[in-house]
Amino acid sequence: MRLRNILAIVLTVLCVAMLAGCDEQGKAGSGSSSSSAAVASGSSSSSASSGAAGQKAATMDISVYYPDVNATGLVAVTKTVKAQEADKYQAAVEALLAGTDDKKLTAVFPKKAKLRKVSVSGGVVKVDFDKNLISGFVGGSTGEEMLVGSLVNTLTEFPEIKKVQILVEGKEIDSLSGHLDLSRPVERMPELIKK
């Protein structure tokens, strides 16, 4: 009987100790989980806000080149575009395609020409247009020079861009209408810029 009582007391003490330990661990666990949840929510909210800031397009001023009405040279027009850093080249081409309201300047790209894609590698930007760039182009040698010059000079305003390769439907082209060699990337054409 006495042994049974001693065992019962030992078991009771052990159970109480285990329960107390579980309760302390539960409290510590819940405390640490709430603090880690706070850290996690803090980091997720900061990453969400930085993600939102990353997604929010910043505005930047860019120089876009248009031919004057007599096609004697290119004139820089400053446009403000909304773009993230990675999209600035595409934004510049789209701004160029949008044309200008300045009566002394003219748009040179065919109205139906659409930009498909812009990609950059090693200082060369590849600008891919749909087939309307060629089928809608009606200019001669001067018009071709003004179109290519406006695109190349606009994109080489970004110091990291050294050359521009024009693609149509994802493929390299020899020329727009037989006057300029476009089979290779084209460097900046400063001689076309009016001072």
Per-residue pLDDT tens digits of the chain, which is 195 residues long: 555 555 556 555 454 444 445 444 444 444 443 333 333 323 333 333 334 444 566 899 999 999 999 999 999 999 999 988 889 999 999 999 999 999 999 999 999 999 999 999 999 999 999 999 999 998 899 999 999 999 999 999 999 999 999 999 999 999 998 999 999 999 999 999 998
The DSSP result for the chain, as a single string, is -HHHHHHHHHHHHHHHHHHHHHHHHHHHHHHHHHHHHHHHHHHHHHHHHHHHHHHSPEEEEEEEEEEBTTSS-EEEEEEEEEE-GGGHHHHHHHHHHT----TTB---S-TT--EEEEEEETTEEEEEE-THHHHT----HHHHHHHHHHHHHHHTTSTT--EEEEEETTEE-S-SSSSS--SS-EE--GGGB--
- pLDDT at position 85, please? 84
Domain boundaries, the chain: 1-56, 58-192
- Tell me the whole-structure pTM to 2 decimals: 0.71
